[in-house]
Amino acid sequence: MPGASVDYVRLAFDLIDEFNQLASAERVMDRMTAVLARLGYTAFLVTGLPEPPERVEPHFLLNRFPPDWIKLYSERNYYPDDPVAAHCRRSLDPFEWSEATYDAERWPRAAEIMARAADFGLEKGFLVPIIRGNGLHACVTMAGQHPDFDPLAKRAIHLISMYAHAKAVALRRSDRLKPIPARLSEREREVLTWAARGEKTTWDISTILRISEGTVNRIIARAVHKLDATSRMQAIIDAIRVGEIRV
- Reported as a single tens digit per residue, the pLDDT across 29-62 is 999 999 999 999 999 999 999 999 888 998 899 9
**Is residue 99 located within the same domain as residue 143?**
yes
The pLDDT score that the predictor gives to residue 136 is: 73
Q: 98-123, pLDDT tens digit by residue?
A: 999 999 999 999 999 999 999 999 99
Average confidence (pLDDT) over 141-157: 97
Find the distance separating the first CA and the last CA of the chain, reported in whole Å: 58
The pLDDT score that the predictor gives to residue 179 is: 54
Query: Which CATH number characterizes residue 33's domain?
Result: 3.30.450.80
**Is residue 130 located within the same domain as residue 235?**
no
Residue 74 covered by a domain: yes
pLDDT band per the 50, 70, 90 thresholds, residue 134: low
Q: How far apart, in whole angstroms, are the C-alpha atoms of residue 235 and residue 247?
A: 14
Q: How far apart, in whole angstroms, are the C-alpha atoms of residue 130 and residue 122?
A: 21
Query: Strand 95-96 relative to strand 60-63: parallel, antiparallel, unpaired?
Result: unpaired
The pLDDT score that the predictor gives to residue 212 is: 94
Determine which of 34-38, 75-79, 120-124, 136-140 has the lowest per-residue pLDDT on average: 136-140
The pLDDT score that the predictor gives to residue 183 is: 78
The pLDDT score that the predictor gives to residue 154 is: 97
Nearest to 223 by CA among 178, 180, 166: 180
Contact call for residues 52 and 39 (beta carbons, < 8 A): no
Q: Where is the domain boundary, 153, 176, 199? A: 176
Phi, psi of 29 (to 5 degrees): -65, -40
Q: Where is the domain boundary, 176, 194, 228? A: 176
Q: Which of 115-124, 180-189, 195-204 has the highest mean pLDDT?
A: 115-124
**Is residue 12 located within the same domain as residue 133?**
yes
**Is residue 63 located within the same domain as residue 149?**
yes
Largest distance between two CA atoms of the chain = 63
**Is residue 65 located within the same domain as residue 122?**
yes
What is the per-residue DSSP string for the chain? Answer: -TTTT--HHHHHHHHHHHHTT--SHHHHHHHHHHHHHTTT--EEEEEE-PPTTS-SGGGEEEE-S-HHHHHHHHHTT-GGG-HHHHHHTT-SS-EEGGGS---TTT-HHHHHHHHHHHHTT--EEEEEEEE-TTS-EEEEEEEESS----HHHHHHHHHHHHHHHHHHHHHHHHHHTS-------HHHHHHHHHHHSTT--HHHHHHHHTS-HHHHHHHHHHHHHHTT-SSHHHHHHHHHHTTS---
pLDDT band per the 50, 70, 90 thresholds, residue 225: confident
Omega before 2 within 30 of 0, i.e. cis: no
pLDDT band per the 50, 70, 90 thresholds, residue 4: low
Contacts of 157 (CB under 8 A, 6+ apart): 12, 36, 39, 94, 126, 128, 142
Does the model's pTM come out above 0.75?
no
Contacts of 53 (CB under 8 A, 6+ apart): 80, 217
Domain residue limits at 191: 186-241
CA angle 150-155-159, nearest 5°?
Answer: 145
**Is residue 229 located within the same domain as residue 135?**
no
Nearest to 144 by CA among 72, 83, 64: 64
Q: Where is the domain boundary, 151, 176, 201? A: 176
The answer, yes or no, to whether residue 18 has pLDDT greater than 70, is yes
Residue type, 230: T
